[in-house]
Amino acid sequence: MKPGIKRFEHWLAQLETLIQKAMKEHNPGLWLYSNDARTPLFMLEGLSKLYADLHNNKKFSKLRAFFKTLEDALGAVDYYDSYAKQFYADPMVPVYIREYMQGQAREKIQRLNELLEGDGWLEPSNNRIAKIRKKLGKADWLSPNKELKGIKSFYTKSIKKITEFVKKEGPFTEMESQVHEVRRELRWLSIYPQALQGCIQTTDTGQSRELTAAYLVPEIVNSRYNLMPPADDNTAFLLLEKNHFFALSWLIAELGKLKDEGLQFVAVAEALQQTAGFKKDIAFEKSFEVFAVPKSQFDNLLARATAITQQFMQEQQLEMLVLGIAGIEKAGTE
C-alpha cells in the first residue's frame, strides 16, 4: 500500500469506527460530537487539502469538501454548545441569551444529523466512507520520494501564504475574519505532521533556543500534541526545527484564547439580534453591557493578537521552521 493511501486509511478507519458506533445511537450527531469525531475529520481534511496540491486535484478537492462539510457541522455544534455551557455558569448573562445558545446548539445537532443522512455517512453499505475508499484506490499516487518533495513544497507555500496574509491585513480589526482566520491557517501547520503519520519529524538544531526562549513554556514543551508520530516505516522525512515548532504552537494557543474571549461578545450580539431585534451594530455595543465591560476590552484583545502575531512574524519564526528533507539516519522521533 502506497504511503499516501495508508495515511488516509489510518484516519478513515478511526472515523468509520466512530460512525458505526454512532449508528446505534438515537442521536448519532450528538454522539459523534461528544466523542471527538472532529479529530479524524480534521486530519482527513488536511490530507485532502495537501494531496490536492500534489496530484488529482479535482478528486481530492471533492473529498476535502465532504470532510470539511461534516467537520464544519460539528464545529457549529461546538461553537454554540461551548458558549451555552459558559454562559450557563455566568450569572451576568441573561436567561434568554443562555436559552438562545442552547436552542442553537440543538438546532445545529439536528442539521448535523440531516447532513449525516443526506451525504450517506450512515448507510449500512456503500456508504460515504466506502465511496471515499474507492476514489482513493483510483488516485495516481506518487513514489515516496516525489511525494515527500511535494509535501515540502506544499508546507513551504502554506507558510508563505500565512506571512503574506498577516502582512496584507496589518493591525487586526476583526476577530473572525482576521484573528480566527490566521489561527486556522497556522493550526494547519501543526495538523499536517499528525495527519501524515510520521513523515514529518522535528529536530533541535541547537541554534534556536535564544530566539524561541519566550515561547518554550512548560505547557507547550510538555504537550503531547507537540510530539511527532512515530517514524514507522518512513525512510525519509521532512524535518522541522523543534523549537520553532514549539513557538508556532504557542502562537496558536495564545490566539485561540484571545479568539474565544473575543467571540463571546460576537455570540451575545447574535443572540441580542435574534431575540431582542437589535440591529447588528447596536447589538454588538450592547454585548459589552451584558458583561459589564467597556468595548475597549475587545479592542485590547485585537491589539494583543496583532502584537504577538507581528512579533512572531518579525522574528521570522515560520521562515526558520522548515529545515529540509533528510534520510532516516538524520531523523529522530522527538
**Using CA atoms, how far apart are residues 203 and 11, in angstroms rounded to an integer?**
25
Does residue 283 surpass a pLDDT of 60?
yes
Does residue 52 surpass a pLDDT of 60?
yes
Does residue 334 surpass a pLDDT of 50?
no
Does residue 333 surpass a pLDDT of 70?
no
pLDDT for 327 equals 82
H or E stretch at 284: helix 280-290
Does residue 214 surpass a pLDDT of 70?
yes
Does residue 222 surpass a pLDDT of 90?
yes
**Using CA atoms, how far apart are residues 289 and 262, in angstroms rounded to an integer?**
14
Say how many C-beta atoms besides its own lie within 10 A of residue 157's C-beta: 11
pLDDT for 233 equals 86
| Residue where the block lists cell 455558569 | 89
In tens, the pLDDT along 123-168 reads: 998 999 999 999 999 999 999 999 999 999 999 999 999 999 999 9
Residue 159's contacts (CB-CB under 8 Å, 6 or more residues apart) are 189, 318, 319, 321, 322
DSSP labels for 140-181? Answer: -PPPHHHHHHHHHHHHHHHHHHHHHHHHHH-S---IIIIIIH
**Using CA atoms, how far apart are residues 241 and 245, in angstroms rounded to an integer?**
6
Question: How does residue 332 score in pLDDT terms, banded at 50, 70 and 90?
Answer: very low
Which residues lie across from 283 on neighbouring strands?
Answer: none
In tens, the pLDDT along 176-206 reads: 999 999 999 999 999 999 999 999 999 999 9
**Using CA atoms, how far apart are residues 147 and 75, in angstroms rounded to an integer?**
31
pLDDT for 328 equals 61
